[in-house]
Structure 1
């Protein structure tokens, strides 16, 4: 066989053996918008009933789809937007675990979301991760870590650029200072958070920020003041919060009601406080109580039976709580 014929023969055979690879289409902002719509549905579900296992699962499934899109051809703008969504889906999963008080799993998800947020180079997304880090440390009762995360949120690009995010960072500082037993620093930071929110305009922001505004700031102020031992002021802030929290924020209304009940109890009004605490179950309307809310209700229950153990309303409360716990 001549050399030329051999080369033609072998190269033709090799070419025929190579599989034809189907080229996957490129990803654009339409795909990003579709993925974002799914994420916003999860945020709305969290607003209604708080963290639950199915929410975490759905968030991780959403993240997996976003990361699959990352494997396709995309512009730098699209790629960053996809990393933003990966961070936000992962943060929803983390937040759900915080609400459930599955804190070790929440920590794992937050470490992952930190990576995606960094790759996205999106300031609000980075801010969200730091806020959740602070909230996780608060649930762990780790005051120094909570303060460090709050300081990172306060110093973030988002907080420096936008008074809305600046307020969000400052109130986290206030919560950290109150946990660390520094009520003066807590009140200073709280005042700064209120001032910053007053300067914020109505610019369009990511859907996840919908929970934060004057009502939520008053709710957080009630938590801070309860920590500081200023129960009358905490009660006033809780009433202000409940007057403005939208009805669809079911979980947040129930949490603010818990703070109101605790403030009333600590002012020596156990019967009124028990009536208030009972409305938490009505607000949740049969939905399972997230772990974070159960902890607050447990705190109330313990303090109630320390103050008024033999009263009829305390026994009735115990019966109702037992029924609600078993239903969940």
Structure 2
């Protein structure tokens, strides 16, 4: 059985591992409204030649990843399905991304003189693709293929916007484009690509303004606060939290107000302002108590609730020197964060390890930090996760440079947490 050298070369050219290619294909399947069922075994079957002609949906998604036809990627259709040599093939590079992921091509000739109309069904389809990307982020975290898929969704929403049947539809499409762009920015942020995230957030804020959408604006300011925190610009973290709180949605829905206060609490704690941090944390908890948990909200807010407030409380407590309080909050958060938020559970686990380490419980801290790798098994660590584990290791060798368990932990996990 001959291996598929063309596919292997394309993967090498893009720098994609089998896991990363599976994620990239699944992102496109999910955007098209299908289940993301491609795994390592699927990729191996493609590479070894065991599968010579993938399923149509997988084939279209694979073509969208690389910008080449399946044949150019080394696959061979059954003879009965080959097209006549005289039939032209549309270049894959010129196909619209989301059209390509459906596995279909436009074959209907429009009625001359009748402009295409875009309506509610287009809005719902694009919105469902956005929700699917957020589900992928919950499990895997931010990564390049998710960012590309989000930007492709934003591009299609803006193209559809030009053809919107009504002003209301056009505004909704601007809103969706803002959310897709903010999702791409979030993916860059989670990968700790702060410059790219900030550039995308600027674009998302413009689109949210065009959409007249305060929820999208609030989302952007929330992400701005996180970018500033990554850069160590803690005054800007507080300012972005204030901007998030100033959006009109926080007046209508206390859950959004709670998130804005929690971001400010982290900024104040990083500045060493204990009273302000605890005050903002209290406002976050008070607003959360007023929020109706079952009200309909966008999918990007699904992560936020009592469990996330508790996880953010752990960060604030550790920053202001209350490591015991941080440990208790981390335990409570891990008992409440839903299982599907795998990345968030891994982050909370690492925060727990840091709180234990700062109390000089070296052995337990190393055991806890090791569990974070198990939670993310099968997926590369997002940049934000790698950075937090790096913080743990730096504190570990500072507080216990001669401890055997510290050296063992570093030897075992250094390659995993430092891999870029």
Q: What is the TM-score when the length of structure 2 is the normalising length?
A: 0.72
- Return the offset for 1:306: 1.7
- Return the offset for 1:308: 2.0
Aligned equivalents of 1:213 and 1:31: distance in 2?
A: 30
Are 1:52 and 2:146 an aligned pair? no
Q: Which residue of 2 aligns with 1:190?
A: 281
Q: Which residue of 2 aligns with 1:274?
A: 366
Number of aligned positions between the proteins: 309
Deviates more, 1:248-257 or 1:304-313: 304-313
Q: Which residue of 2 aligns with 1:8?
A: none
Q: Which residue of 1 aligns with 2:127?
A: 36
Q: Deviations over 1:171-223 (max 9, x none)?
A: 11111111222111110110110011011012111111100000011111111
The 8 Å contact of residues 241 and 261 in structure 2, kept in 1 or not, is answered as yes
Q: Which runs of 4+ in 1 moved over 6 A?
A: none
- Return the offset for 1:81: 0.8
- Return the offset for 1:327: 7.1
Are 1:222 and 2:314 an aligned pair? yes
Structure with larger Rg: 1
Are 1:206 and 2:298 an aligned pair? yes
- Return the offset for 1:321: 1.0
Are 1:236 and 2:325 an aligned pair? no
Aligned equivalents of 2:381 and 2:395: distance in 1?
A: 20
Structure 1: 5+ residue stretches without partners: 1-19
Q: CA RMSD in A?
A: 1.4
Q: Deviations over 1:294-328 (max 9, x none)?
A: 11101110111122223332222112213424777
Q: Which residue of 2 aligns with 1:112?
A: 203
The 8 Å contact of residues 120 and 169 in structure 2, kept in 1 or not, is answered as yes
Distance 1:28 1:105, change over 3 A: same
SS across alignment from 2:115: coil
Aligned equivalents of 1:182 and 1:23: distance in 2?
A: 63
The 8 Å contact of residues 175 and 216 in structure 2, kept in 1 or not, is answered as yes
Structure 2: 5+ residue stretches without partners: 1-110
Higher helix proportion: 1
Q: Which residue of 2 aligns with 1:176?
A: 267
Q: Which residue of 1 aligns with 2:407?
A: 315
Q: Deviations over 1:237-283 (max 9, x none)?
A: 11111001011100000010111000000001011000000000000
Higher relative CO (Cα under 8 Å, sequence separation at least 6) belongs to 1
Aligned equivalents of 1:156 and 1:70: distance in 2?
A: 24
Aligned equivalents of 2:366 and 2:286: distance in 1?
A: 34
Aligned equivalents of 2:335 and 2:298: distance in 1?
A: 24
